[in-house]
Amino acid sequence: MSFEATLWLFCAGMGASAAGGMLGMASGLFIVPILTMFFHIDMHAAIGTSIVSVIACSCGGAAMRAGLTNVRLALVLETGTTLGALTGVLLAGIVPVAALNFLFAGVLVVSAWQMFSRREEHADMSRPIPWRGLAAALDLHSSYPDSTLRRDIAYEVRRVPAGLTLMYAAGVVSALLGIGSGILKIPAMDNALRLPIKVSTATSNFMIGVTAAASASAYFLRGEIVSAIAGPVALGSVIGASAGARMLMKVRSERLRLLFLSMLLLVACQMFLQGFGIDLLERAGR
């Protein structure tokens, strides 16, 4: 690979991860469209590169937030996500590329919707704590330090089997599309398990790396990951993700949110067209 192409790949990884980091998610949603659109890389190679970039992002950006991550819950849910990833790896050979494009477009639209409708803290915490259930047996209930109230807030975990099922689905999508699918874990975390938002964000970020590693190792051994492409993108991702996470603390404007929202929808349109075999850039170039 030429020096110039390597440099551009590095920049692409950095830009995508910085954008992802600012939104508090991994770079996956941007990497695959960039690679297929601008670099004309084959969809499967792009997915392999993207999954490595997602791991790199989770290394660079997600510094463990003190006390917020429920490590035990993460480990329990990882059994679901890794099994899903395994299924996704098996499916990847069968599902046609056009279907992958449509699925990608769908996930982008769902992500945009998630960003549009903000997450709300569930007020329904008054029900009696289920001390029996799976959550109690696995000792999942925990507490987290709240910086504004300056005390530890206890929370309990609900409906673990439902959460595990949703995590399995998130794992399948993650492996198929090469994304972290943090955005798909949010409904599972918020609605099924009823976690406080801070805890669910930190725990979900913690899980992304392992989920991605499960499919990445399979793709790597399959010879699907081209290191000349994945290397520079991963390196850019580490730098971009840590820069993006820092910017997240400073920038929190409404305008930025809308900009990204429209960007997601635009990319969704592009992936949809790609599914139909229409390449806009190539047409414009002619």
Partner 1 sequence: MKDFTPASMDRVLARFFQCGTWAACVLTGAGLVIGTKALTAGVALFILLPVLRVVVMLAVFARQRNYVYVTIAATVLAVIAAGCAIGLRLGPLGG
Binding residues (CB under 8 A) for partner 1: these are 6, 44, 52, 55-56, 58-60, 63-64, 66-67, 69, 71-72, 75-76, 78-79, 82-83, 85-86, 89-90, 92-93, 138-139, 142, 209-210, 212-225, 227-228, 230-232, 234-235, 238
167 close to 185: Cβ distance less than 8 angstroms: yes
Q: How far is the CB of 184 from partner 1 (least distance, A)?
A: 18
Q: How far is the CB of 123 from partner 1 (least distance, A)?
A: 26
Closest alpha carbon to 78 in 179, 197, 218, 209: 209
11 close to 236: Cβ distance less than 8 angstroms: yes
As a whole number of angstroms, the distance between CA 222 and CA 216 comes to: 10
Q: How far is the CB of 89 from partner 1 (least distance, A)?
A: 6
Q: How far is the CB of 228 from partner 1 (least distance, A)?
A: 7
- Residue among 34 and 216 whose Cβ is closer to partner 1: 216
Q: Using alpha carbons only, how large is the chain's radius of gyration in Å?
A: 19
Q: How far is the CB of 77 from partner 1 (least distance, A)?
A: 10
- Residue among 45 and 186 whose Cβ is closer to partner 1: 45
- Residue among 28 and 268 whose Cβ is closer to partner 1: 28
- Residue among 2 and 126 whose Cβ is closer to partner 1: 2
- Residue among 143 and 191 whose Cβ is closer to partner 1: 143
Q: What SS3 state is found at 154? A: strand
Tokens of 42: 């084959």
Ramachandran area for residue 128 (φ above 0: left; ψ -120 to 50: alpha; else beta): beta
As a whole number of angstroms, the distance between CA 139 and CA 124 comes to: 21
Tokens of 29: 């949603």
